[in-house]
Structure 1
Amino acid sequence: MTKSQITLAILFTLLTFIDVSTSSSNVFNVVSFGAKPDGVTDSTAAFLKAWQAACVSAYSATVMVPTGTFLVKGITFTGPCKSKLKFQVAGTVVAPADYWAFGNSGYWILFNRVSKMSLVGGTFDARASGFWACRKSGQNCPPGVRSITFNAAKDVVISGVKSMNSQMSHMTLKGCTNVAVRNIKLVAPGNSPNTDGFGVQSSTGITLTGSTVQTGDDCVSIGPGTRNFLISKLNCGPGHGVSIGSLAKTLNEDGVENVTVSNSVFTGTTNGVRIKSWARASTGFVNKVFFQNLIMKNVQNPIIIDQNYCPTHQGCPTEHSGVKISQVTYRNIQGTSATQQAMNLACSKTNPCTGITLQDIKLTYNKGTPATSYCFNAAGTNLGVIQPTSCLNK
């Protein structure tokens, strides 16, 4: 391509962008549809009307949530839309303080079957303190809702979003393809029950980068059917770390493959990187997983595989997992363990872990005595300096 052709191509791109981005007719402000930024008036219908108008636009469109606080009840934004759509939030979206308002829906904000869409900015506050108190008291409580869910979505970008005080999971992807998540912040108190941060299931081509997760459960939960998932530059803690699983919830279950967690920091978490499966039969598997360039700061279980998960001692009649774990690499993981057993690789009695690689591990027990490792039915390779001493079968 000649210099003049390159110049024309750039000019055409800029003109196209200017034409779309400055067209006021393609910006659908929720206030124009009746939303009130007072945090009290129910703006659910206005949000839905703005979405529906933008969704049928023949050109790229933006749903705009301006500054202010908007009360929104359970809502579903349905796609696919005719053109690219941006959901731009400058203000704060809050859920009803009455946690019974959602019934048994399971969702607060659901994006269903959307494509070529971006969710940018804003704060989403589920105000779940009353719900947590109900759960802890043992009273009759609703099942709870996930704050932001994408179901069967494709080619999506999520950027600069803050989710606070979720009833259950903050952000969940299910059945999604090609989703890029950047610079999000998910926050709930460390003692809030079951407030997972970012959850993925039955999805492929997902990236989570440059984000902070501080919750009462898993920072990231990776469920069955997850493939090609990259996590990088994650700040995790408090919370339960990054978990593949729980797996083997059902007999016929899809596997987890090609997952990478890199260049991340875990601070005061229950676990660092964990693979967890119920101790019962399953067709599931875990394959090609890379945990690398990680820093642990006072983490209770920095490296853990638990294939004997059976907390209630019910539904686990055989007491061994059918999930096959293979080709898992732990590389350049350093820091401090809050417990003496810094590595715990407890694999299945009938399906031993194979192809485990430990390379350049340096984990110390923060009480001053040497850290230890424990292995059961785990075989693999040791490379470089391993501290605590490796217990892998060769």
Structure 2
Amino acid sequence: MSTMVLMINLTSSSVAFAAPTTFNVVDLGAKGDGRTDSTRAFLRAWESGCASPSSTTIYVPQGRYLLNEVLFTGECKGRVTFKIDGTLVAPSDYRILGTSGKWITFNKVQGVSIYGGILDGQGAGLWACKATERSCPFGAGSLEFTYSSEITITGLTSMNSQIFHIVIHDCKNVKLQQVQVTASGNSPNTDGIHVQGSTDVTITQANIKTGDDCISIGPGTTNLWMENINCGPGHGISLGKAANEQGVQNVTVKTATFSGSQNGVRIKTWARPSTGYVKGSSGSQVAMKFDCSPKTPCSGIVLNNVDLTYGSKSASSSCINADGSAFGLVHPSSCLAA
């Protein structure tokens, strides 16, 4: 019986691999001069990338690109990556964006990644307006993701946002890493990162200097992990605010440094009826302040390996209407009522 051997030689000419497609915003009309409105060019790049069934990259070269309010909306056919070597600049006149509440928004997207880049919100004019107590618009946040999933933000710098720098709202599976936030220590409402109504969010290696909360945690947030956080100036890491809001649970802060901040980690509740709750929160190597309502006290708080120092002065802890447990090194002594 004879044997037939079939040999197939696969070469680069016989097998085609789909390479990611790149859209350069300059090729689509953007100008990095800081003066020409490049909003339309960015939208063209997004429309092309979002419509592509394969993975695409939107590339922003070095330069300063003026953007007005812009909405990148899904659902896209494939994954889209923003590779940013330049700076995106908001209009210098704060009134242009001031009443919109938003500058750059991603809505209903999946698998979007942002690597590098600088967002310059040019918010100093609005801060000055608010300082004089004139009639001022509330302001626009710099970057917001809403109703989205599988989001990665790496190496992004946000500076001088009018109000919140980065907002994660009603999202799932979000990773923020090596994010830098900078704003004046007296800039109002300039929270560094705000997470609300979202689950499975990880924030690591973040350096945040701002005039409000470094990280603020709104209602409906679950499974939030924060590690290697440098905060200050700012108001610290804060949970909770309004009445009748969804609860917050499974929040972890690990290896955080607070320098020149008003607080370390704090949980805020109001002395009025509320359906909100905080469960499964822990702190590591941070100062924690619990000031809770007698009608809606805080419970189930865990302190593990907390070492708080305050220069040469004695450190202290503060607990009002709060209970929980502490183990490992806890300095100063835990004030939680078990």
SS of the residue 1:337 aligns to: coil
| Cα pair 1:235 1:266 within 8 Å, conserved | yes
In the TM superposition, what whole-angstrom CA distance separates every residue of 1:320-378 from its partner, at most 9, and x where no partner exists?
543x522211222223237867211112xxxxx3333354122xxxxxxxxxxxxxxxx
Match of 1:129 among 113, 124, 127: 124
Tell me the residue number matched to 2:19. Answer: 20
Tell me the residue number matched to 2:289. Answer: 304
**TM-score (normalizing by structure 1):** 0.78
| Cα pair 1:206 1:228 within 8 Å, conserved | yes
| Map 1:134-283 → 2, pairs under 5 A | 134-246=129-241, 249-251=242-244, 253-283=245-275
Shift of 1:254: 1.0
| Map 1:92-131 → 2, pairs under 5 A | 92-131=87-126
Tell me the residue number matched to 2:8. Answer: none
In the TM superposition, what whole-angstrom CA distance separates every residue of 1:229-268 from its partner, at most 9, and x where no partner exists?
000011111111111122xx232x2110101000111111
Shift of 1:220: 0.4
Q: What CA distance in whole angstroms lies between the structure 1 residues aligned with 2:82 and 2:335?
A: 50
Q: What CA distance in whole angstroms lies between the structure 2 residues aligned with 1:259 and 1:54?
A: 35
Shift of 1:105: 1.6
**Bigger helix fraction:** 1
- Residue type matched to 2:324 in 1? G
- Residue type matched to 1:157 in 2? T
| Map 1:3-18 → 2, pairs under 5 A | none
In the TM superposition, what whole-angstrom CA distance separates every residue of 1:164-208 from its partner, at most 9, and x where no partner exists?
001111101000000011101011011111110010000000000
Q: What CA distance in whole angstroms lies between the structure 1 residues aligned with 2:217 and 2:91?
A: 29
* CA 1:129–1:271: 2 relative to 1, 3 Å: same
Q: What CA distance in whole angstroms lies between the structure 1 residues aligned with 2:329 and 2:304?
A: 6
- Residue type matched to 1:258 in 2? N
Q: How large is the Cα RMSD of the aligned pairs?
A: 1.8
| Cα pair 2:317 2:335 within 8 Å, conserved | no
Gaps of 5+ in 1: 1-14, 296-301, 309-319, 348-352, 363-386
Shift of 1:20: 2.5
Tell me the residue number matched to 1:342. Answer: 316
Q: What CA distance in whole angstroms lies between the structure 2 residues aligned with 1:331 and 1:163?
A: 32
Q: What CA distance in whole angstroms lies between the structure 1 residues aligned with 2:165 and 2:53?
A: 32
| Cα pair 1:117 1:157 within 8 Å, conserved | yes
SS of the residue 2:252 aligns to: strand
Structure 1 position 48 matched with structure 2 position 43: yes
Report how many aligned residue pairs link the two structures.
Answer: 323
* CA 1:121–1:281: 2 relative to 1, 3 Å: same
| Cα pair 1:326 1:356 within 8 Å, conserved | no
Tell me the residue number matched to 1:393. Answer: 337
| Map 1:274-293 → 2, pairs under 5 A | 274-292=266-284
- Residue type matched to 1:303 in 2? M
Match of 1:357 among 319, 323, 326: 326
Shift of 1:303: 1.8
Tell me the residue number matched to 2:30. Answer: 35
Q: What CA distance in whole angstroms lies between the structure 2 residues aligned with 1:236 and 1:103?
A: 26
The farther-off stretch of 158-167 and 329-338 is 329-338
Tell me the residue number matched to 1:79. Answer: 74
- Residue type matched to 2:290 in 1? I
| Cα pair 2:59 2:84 within 8 Å, conserved | yes
SS of the residue 1:27 aligns to: strand
SS of the residue 1:278 aligns to: coil
Gaps of 5+ in 2: 1-14
- Residue type matched to 2:299 in 1? S
**Bigger strand fraction:** 1
**TM-score (normalizing by structure 2):** 0.91
Q: What CA distance in whole angstroms lies between the structure 2 residues aligned with 1:37 and 1:346?
A: 53
| Cα pair 1:327 1:357 within 8 Å, conserved | no
Identical positions, percent: 42
| Cα pair 2:318 2:335 within 8 Å, conserved | no
| Cα pair 1:81 1:114 within 8 Å, conserved | yes
